[in-house]
Structure 1
Amino acid sequence: MRYSLAVGLVALMVASSLTSASASAGARCRDVDAPVTVLGHREVVHGSLCTPAAGAATVQVLIPGATYNSSYWDFPDGKHSFRAAQNAAGFATFAVDRLGTGGSSRPPAVTLTAFVQADAMHQVVQGLRSGAYGPRFSRVVIGGHSLGAAISAVEAGTYKDVDGVLLTGMTHRVNPTGVAAAFANFRPANLDTKFGVLFPLGYLTTAPGTRYDSFHAPGRLVPDVMALEESTKDVFAPTEAVDGLGVAVLLPYSLLINVPVMTAVGSHDAAVCGPLATNCSTSETLHAAEAPYFRSPLRAYALPDYGHSINLAPNARDYYSAVSSWVREEVDR
């Protein structure tokens, strides 16, 4: 009861600050339910489309990682909004809930793969270009975090319909120990009180109290952020990770991408960094490690002293700025 009350009070206190932040950035946001057809079934991809008041020619499609939804890109504490930073830099954003999460359709978990999610994102990209959701955009950047990055790589490599690709929390040499430790913290969503016993079978979420160790360590632990992490956590289907990891990362599918790419990770990301994985200690070492996996121009950024979920790092604004500079210099020209 006390924990739930604390989360509620935190959410109430930050709501006004988030509204103010959106207003100061001059962005107009609205919910969109984008119709898509996957595996012969009509589904809906829900997201928030935010456009600077002056308009924008470029939109960033933002795909969250496993057990996250669109709130990862616009975190409800008023301090960690990748979305607001990109809007302030002059770019539109469409932060989506992957199929199975948030306000999107929830197909049977076993039917969801990274390629199915990429198919849905391809249809979203076409809708943004055609003006199906309101504004018409001439340039589209697809970006994702972790599993969302794998989906972005599959979409860009398969459909070749975007102008830039942002990959965060993903490299091509993973740390098996770190990945195994993260997977050990996953539980069936219907055994978690947040989702309840009637939640569809097959989806996984994180066990209560494990998100700091899985996604943020060894970064500074901020209790308010962790409380909101727990209240906004979501689910994923294991089948998304199978081809997401096996194809997008290990194959590597990224060699099919034909547009500029930016990769960004935390320098201490236990899932992808380490002596037996990727050298993420600096942006230069990250670039050297990842360059062989891309034929297109690559920019790399290592956020110092943080783990996997870099959008929520205390120094995340440095990374937000690095991304907007890359879009401006490599895509929006």
Structure 2
Amino acid sequence: MASVLVVLVLAVASLVNKGRASPTSGRQCVQLEVPVVVNTSAIHWLQKKVDSTIDVVDWVDDMTTWSSPNTTSRILGQITVKDTFKISGQLCVPAKGPRSDTLQLATHGVGFDKRYWDVEIRSDQYSYVDSVLAEGYSIFTYDRLGTGASSKPDAYDVVSTGVQVEILRQLTILARSGKLASASKKVGGSSNLSSYKPTKIVQVGHSLGSVIIIGLLTADGASSDGAILTGFLYNSQIGSASVAPWGFEYAKENDPKKFGDRGSGYIVQATKANTQLVFLKKGAFEPALLDYAWEVRQPNSVGEFISLGTVLGQPAPAFKGPVQFFIGEKDYGFCGGDCNHTYNVTALKELYPASSALSVHLQPGTGHGLTLSTNATAGYKVIFNFLHGSGL
């Protein structure tokens, strides 16, 4: 069995190396350690402690049983989160590009880190970063708090949706000021991007990342010139979304070597089958991409799940840019497996009354993991065409 696992790991590593053999021409990237100062209030929640996989199952039971306390009744009060967090990010700017002064600031969702946007297997077909650069835009991707190489603080109240919104707001302010690179520690890559200053910023999110952007648009709508909300859609089936299909386990127990730096309250999908169920639709993905998704999987905090609803359903009257909801037609998590005929565009427009343009796109036959699906680049073209049509 061990030899089989070794072969599989080597096979994935080989595919990764091949995928980067011919990077996008003119790809200039710098890897950064961004110090993000946060001083905000957060909710203190009534939650079950999660210190083992047995606890995780009990937590899932508590979160999904119909007679369990609702979210509002779990609020115990407010706390102040005042700290400087290390956020791992990558800034990429095309060597030549008519839109390089427009920065796409990308926030990933549950189960991944910033590698979600920069798939290393057949990057010409799957990497959103490469496609953005080829289109002439610049892009900043980062590991959300609690994931990847970013700080991993308390998983109950600190690594929560509201705090993630504030981190995104601070990153946006840094980027807008032109200090994103110069105020950060360079840990790799190009040395000539320290003065990069965009004139426009488009927020791009996936899943929880889109929820975080929704929170930003409500809290500080004027900070963004546009928003692409992938892997999320307000719709009639959104209530069916549940933590149960993830098959979560305690991260440190699931893989002590990979997730040994995660403490209490950090959970991760247990098997490759769970990853497929949540992210991919049979017939719309290559098996190598499922292997890749499993290899780069990341834990999340229990606090992010309980706090999801705190930023949803609120209007963003100050946001004047274009917004696109872009979701897989067969998204299992947010539409119960079929997004057709589940949404109301008029209701969506009421949330963004000053938006210059609003659209909904269902990517045909695709599941929740948009960058991992076989028609990824076709989807990217839809996004770019929307931005072009909106003057971005």
| TM-score, length-scaled by structure 1 | 0.89
How far apart are 1:180 and its partner, in Å? 4.5
Report 1:1-333 matches (<5 A): 1=2, 2-22=4-24, 24=25, 26-38=26-38, 39-54=81-96, 56-77=100-121, 78=123, 79-110=125-156, 111-132=158-179, 133=181, 134=194, 135-160=196-221, 161-173=223-235, 174-183=237-246, 185-193=247-255, 195-196=258-259, 199-209=262-272, 210-244=274-308, 246-249=309-312, 251-253=313-315, 257-273=319-335, 278-279=339-340, 287=345, 290-295=348-353, 296=355, 297-332=357-392
How far apart are 1:10 and its partner, in Å? 2.2
Change in CA separation of 1:36 and 1:188 when aligned onto 2, cut-off 3 Å = same
Point out the structure with max Rg over C-alpha: 2
How far apart are 1:4 and its partner, in Å? 4.0
SS in 1 for 2:126: coil
SS in 2 for 1:258: coil
Contact 2:19/2:120 (CA < 8 Å) preserved in 1? no
Change in CA separation of 1:221 and 1:8 when aligned onto 2, cut-off 3 Å = same
Structure 2 letter corresponding to 1:100? G
Contact 1:178/1:271 (CA < 8 Å) preserved in 2? yes
Residues 135-190 of structure 1, C-alpha deviations (whole Å, 9 max, x = no match)? 0011001111000100011112212211011111111234444535434x222211
Change in CA separation of 1:181 and 1:201 when aligned onto 2, cut-off 3 Å = closer
Change in CA separation of 1:189 and 1:257 when aligned onto 2, cut-off 3 Å = farther
Shifted more, 56-65 versus 208-217: the winner is: 208-217
Residues 224-258 of structure 1, C-alpha deviations (whole Å, 9 max, x = no match)? 111111110001112122332x1333x33556643
Contact 1:29/1:49 (CA < 8 Å) preserved in 2? yes
Contact 1:80/1:316 (CA < 8 Å) preserved in 2? yes
Contact 1:189/1:203 (CA < 8 Å) preserved in 2? yes
Name the count of aligned residue pairs. Answer: 323
Structure 1 letter corresponding to 2:291? A
Contact 2:27/2:93 (CA < 8 Å) preserved in 1? yes
Residues 50-80 of structure 1, C-alpha deviations (whole Å, 9 max, x = no match)? 1110251101111110111001000110231
Query: What residue number does 2:190 align with?
Result: none
| TM-score, length-scaled by structure 2 | 0.76
How far apart in 2 are the matches of 1:270 and 1:192? 24
**RMSD of aligned alpha carbons:** 2.3
Percent identity of equivalent pairs: 26
Structure 2 letter corresponding to 1:294? Y
Change in CA separation of 1:86 and 1:197 when aligned onto 2, cut-off 3 Å = closer
